[in-house]
Amino acid sequence: MSRTFAYAGVSTFDQTPESQIHEIKTAGFAVEPFRIITETISGSMAIAQRKGFSKLLDRMEKGDVLIVTKLDRLGRDAIDVSTTVAKLEDIGIRVHCLALGGVDLTSSAGKMTMNVINAVAQFERDLLIERTQSGLARAKAEGKPLGRPSVLSQDQQQEVKEKSEMGRLSQPSHDSLRQAGKPSCALEITRNLVGLYVPLLG
């Protein structure tokens, strides 16, 4: 006999899963309280990193049914969701998503729905890459600097460049440190090493 489980996840501690559980019961799914798994996780976290969901998988068996309110409960993106559904299908678990009319994602209709969602997600990713590349090309053509802005001013950059070319970067030498009565970095490291090994040799 198949058992019905529910998985409800929220992204912040201010949110509660009760509304999701109520939505599942209102849709006509009878789920025993001990078969309802809830957890607070970031929506950007992959399904494999969600401890609550992993515990749920350990409890479920072939022929069981899993209910979720939205697709993002099954993964952080379309690819993650598809992988999760495929894994559940291999085990023999049916997955119903209320946001998609309660359709079983492992059925023919559910797979067709997932294919459409994946295609749209891939289109959005490709469009984002295309826009990013177009923006970079336009900025480069206009002579705008790419990457993060420099933390140094133009005068500071020129000063560093000049000192670098002259072979004298503005770093204190060992002689200057000794004259100031301060040990050099290399000398300090040597002292620390000696202090570490001398007791061992004794």
The one catalytic residue in 2, 11, 19, 176 is: 11
From residue 77, alpha-carbon distances to 47, 70, 125, 153 in Å are 10, 12, 11, 41
Instruction: Give the number of C-alpha atoms closer than 13 A to the C-alpha of residue 174, restricted to the C-beta side.
Output: 5
Q: Is residue 184 among the annotated active site residues?
A: no
Give the contacts of 67 (CB within 8 A, at least 6 positions apart).
4, 5, 6, 7, 24, 27, 29, 31, 96, 98
Residue whose structure tokens are 């000049």:
162
Q: Would you name the residues annotated as active-site residues?
A: 11
